[in-house]
Amino acid sequence: MENVNLVMPDEQDDFYEHHRIQVDRGQSLIRIDKFLFGKLGNVSRNKIQMAAKSGNILVNNKQEKSNYKVKPGDVISVLLPGPVKEFEIIAENIPINIVYEDDDIIVINKDAGMVVHPGHGNYTGTLINALAFYFQDNPDVLPALIHRIDKDTSGILLVGKNELAQTILAKQFFEHSVNRKYFALVWGDMKMDAGTIEGSIGRNQTDRLQMTVYPDNSQGKPAITHYKVIERFGYVTLVECTLETGRTHQIRAHFKYIGHPLFNDEKYGGDKILKGTTFTKYKQFIINCFNILPRQALHAFLLEFKHPTTGKRMLFEAPLPNDFNKLIGKWREYARHKDTMNEYD
């Protein structure tokens, strides 16, 4: 019997399905698109053919077209875009900030507080609901996310508008050829001006909504985050993060792991005063900062990828949102007048 493995989208922040199939010894010669159509359940024949056209079907590590004849013992790898679980999408008139749009893609600067995809109790009010409304008069457009960012993270997000674009873009994310950069404000004064954080990331065994770093790679999936210091404020540091991999909560989990949780990140312990003094004025300053940015201090400011049709390299940037900018301004002012701030009342 064939061995079929599937990587579920809820284990990562990128929306694709990766199937691996080992063909059994008794398999007769058959076109691979027909074979996969029978093996992959609800996946359409067209979606399989799009995958082949995009180079997303490998047989024994070699790209094959849809007319390839499957042979006993073949090892087939298939990459498909889109979430495994489908939800009934309700079109909702929710404002979205569109940075760029053409026939194949739409680039959005997502506000903090918006969930990107229905699921786990969030069936309305998501970016997908907003896109369903935006495209309600154009039924030929079937928008699908290629990757995700957390509800309370702001910044650039890429959406494919048709199956071919989604399939090609999914491959770029799978192969880590997409350039993604974030700004994060983290607790503590980083020792190094630049560095790399490595450690597999998987679900926390006691809290399934939280991710944990497994440095021995015993669980989870490999994850690599590169960072460099942008500005130091004494008790917190503004860093630029570049993702080499795209795991759920990767930056948040990695920085907690090295002892520098993101500022006001409730899930990973950054919503407490972790660095600083015991002075009353300082405590009030931190409370004011939490009120200014009532979420984790994380913003996806840059996304670079190859256009699925033209092949042209495209780069999009989103400036820091007002709440993040105001927070940085408060810390910059604090760093200038730290001695005065730390005097007893």
Catalytic residues: 150
Cα separation values, 298 from 177, 184, 231, 240, 274, Å: 22, 5, 15, 10, 18
Between strands 30-31 and 57-59, the pairing is unpaired
Residues 72/26, Cβ–Cβ less than 8 Å: yes
Alpha carbon 345 to its chain centroid, in Å, reads 45
Of 275, 267, 271, nearest to 290 (Cα)? 271
